[in-house]
């Protein structure tokens, strides 16, 4: 795996991803996630829906076409809270990448979309369709998994094992996504995540009314 | 014989009301259904279902498909309101609703999916909503019938019924309105989407109605 992919996937990467729980905090507040089995169910559902969508766009972004991908990702993300979370994280990665990996590709991406969606900038930086898809598919589950340790006090070793046991599922999603590297942006798959859409909007509502640990 | 009978209501109304009446048991595994709708400049059409659609398995493998293809000319309006689709055990159905609309056309489309009859496990359904108006408005594919996703808080959170309603009906609200199990959200490039999940279709319908009542265009709608 290339170093950019490893660095972006690292939770210590200064891209600001650590303040997002991907809907997990709201799921915990509603007691939909309370223990390791319910966390696993949350993560599998997230991986196959929002994770698969991000993976497909990361893979497609290795071929450019940034403006079309930006509009098509918007059309596949009905929740404004999720669109915003994706752009905020994309912007965070851009800030780090301008210093770490300046390149004509990055300049072009930020010219076309100054606030790029998270999977699109990851695809542009990683460059390889499978590795780009794998990086964002992993990102789709690792943020909420870490969030569960902090919010529920779950055993870090148990949560780490859940992530490790998802590896074949993550690779399956990445392989599916890599097959779409050359698909026309408008024809890219569009898996919906009704639960995540509802959790994201509810989190946004509660975030402004009460104290929450995560931004999303 | 056409699997769907179109029954227009006679009368001098401004909006043409046509009921969709299923004249055979469909969709059955192996069926390939297609409905094309063109609403001309300035015309208004309301298409309503009369009974729930029951997706059933057939004798042959391969599942069933239904495509609704819509073209809306300048100033045209369409309300497409089929009754709920129930995905029975062993059914494998793929539904696609695709619309291309002019800049000032209006579209309302509602979909309610029920995973299985009471105490029945769900068959497999994938349904795609794909609407373009000089660029993409929305594209999303919902999958029902995969236990790992249906049971996940990210998917249907263990609920049996999923409802969505798209409104490209003039102005949208500037921000989202939501309760725990439904939300009405403004899309990125115009239009609004309501999403609701519940254990029964009546609750989902009620949530869609409440959400529609919050939309600025609801005065023109039922």
What ipTM did this prediction achieve? 0.95
Give pLDDT < 50 ranges for chain B.
none
CB spacing of B197 vs A186 below 8 angstroms: no
Of all residues in chain A, the one with the smallest CA distance to B162 is A194
- Residue B28's pLDDT is 86
**Which of B190, B78, B80 lies closest to B137 in space, CA to CA?**
B190
Q: Under CATH, to which class is A3-205 assigned?
A: mainly alpha
- Residue A49's pLDDT is 98
Q: Which residues of A fall within a CB distance of 8 Å from B197?
A: 194-195, 198
Q: Which residues of A fall within a CB distance of 8 Å from B157?
A: 32, 195
Selecting from A72, A80, A194 the residue whose C-beta is nearest the C-beta of B156 gives A194
Tell me, yes or no, whether B17 lies in a domain.
Answer: no
- Residue A43's pLDDT is 98
CB spacing of A195 vs B146 below 8 angstroms: no
Q: Is the dihedral of CA A87, A90, A96, A102 positive or negative?
A: negative
- Residue B116's pLDDT is 92
Gap from B18 CA to chain A (nearest CA, Å): 30
What is the pairing mode between strands B64-72 and B77-81? unpaired
Tell me, yes or no, whether B19 lies in a domain.
Answer: no
Per-residue pLDDT tens digits for B36-63: 999 999 999 999 999 899 899 988 778 9
Distance between CA B197 and CA A194 in Å, rounded? Answer: 8
Per-residue pLDDT tens digits for A113-162: 999 999 999 999 999 999 999 999 999 999 999 999 999 999 999 999 99
- Given pLDDT bands bounded at 50, 70 and 90, which one contains residue A3? very high
Tell me, yes or no, whether B12 lies in a domain.
Answer: no
Provide the residue range defining the domain that includes B90.
25-216
B203 interfacial to chain A (CB closer than 8 Å):
no
Tell me, yes or no, whether B143 lies in a domain.
Answer: yes
Strand partners of residue B66: B33, B95
Number of domains chain B is built from: 1
Gap from A90 CA to chain B (nearest CA, Å): 17
Average pLDDT over residues A28-51: 98
Query: In which residue are the tokens 């829906």 written?
Result: A49
What count of CB pairs under 8 Å joins A to B? 127
Q: Which residues of B fall within a CB distance of 8 Å from A196?
A: 154
| All structural domains of chain A with their residue ranges | 3-205
């Amino acid at each position: 795996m290339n170093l950019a992919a490893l660095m972006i996937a690292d939770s210590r990467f200064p891209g600001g991803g650590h303040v997002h729980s991907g809907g997990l905090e709201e799921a915990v507040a509603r007691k939909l996630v309370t223990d390791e089995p319910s966390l696993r169910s949350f993560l599998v559902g997230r991986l196959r829906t929002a994770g698969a969508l991000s993976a497909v766009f990361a893979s497609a972004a290795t071929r450019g076409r940034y403006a079309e991908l930006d509009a098509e990702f918007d059309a596949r993300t009905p929740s404004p809270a999720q669109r915003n979370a994706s752009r905020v994280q994309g912007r965070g990665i851009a800030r780090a990448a301008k210093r770490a990996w300046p390149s004509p590709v990055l300049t072009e991406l930020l010219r076309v979309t100054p606030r790029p969606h998270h999977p699109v900038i990851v695809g542009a930086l990683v460059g390889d369709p499978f590795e780009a898809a794998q990086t964002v598919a992993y990102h789709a589950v690792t943020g909420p998994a870490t969030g569960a340790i902090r919010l529920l006090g779950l055993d870090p070793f148990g949560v780490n094992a859940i992530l490790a046991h998802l590896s074949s599922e993550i690779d399956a999603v990445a392989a599916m996504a890599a097959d779409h590297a050359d698909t026309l942006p408008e024809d890219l798959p569009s898996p919906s995540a009704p639960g995540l859409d509802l959790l994201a909007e509810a989190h946004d509502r509660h975030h402004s009314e009460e104290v929450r640990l995560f931004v999303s | 014989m056409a699997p769907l009978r179109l029954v227009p209501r006679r009368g001098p109304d401004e909006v043409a009301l046509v009921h969709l009446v299923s004249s055979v048991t469909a969709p059955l595994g192996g069926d390939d259904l297609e409905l094309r709708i063109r609403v001309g400049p300035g015309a208004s059409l309301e298409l309503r279902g009369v009974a729930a659609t029951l997706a059933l398995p057939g004798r042959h493998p391969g599942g069933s498909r239904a495509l609704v293809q819509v073209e809306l000319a300048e100033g045209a309006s369409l309300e497409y309101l089929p009754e709920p689709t129930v995905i029975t055990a062993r059914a494998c159905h793929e539904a696609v609703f695709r619309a291309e609309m002019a800049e000032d056309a209006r579209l309302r489309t509602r979909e309610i999916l029920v995973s299985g009859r009471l105490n029945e496990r769900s068959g497999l359904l994938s349904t795609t909503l794909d609407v373009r108006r000089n660029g993409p408005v929305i594209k999303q594919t919902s999958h029902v019938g995969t236990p790992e996703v249906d049971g996940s808080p990210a998917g249907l959170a263990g609920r049996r019924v999923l409802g969505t309603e798209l409104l490209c009906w003039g102005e949208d609200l500037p921000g989202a309105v939501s309760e725990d199990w439904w939300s009405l959200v403004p899309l990125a490039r115009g239009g609004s989407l309501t999403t609701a999940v519940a254990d029964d279709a009546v609750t989902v319908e009620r949530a869609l109605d409440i959400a529609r009542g919050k939309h600025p265009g609801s005065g023109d709608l039922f």
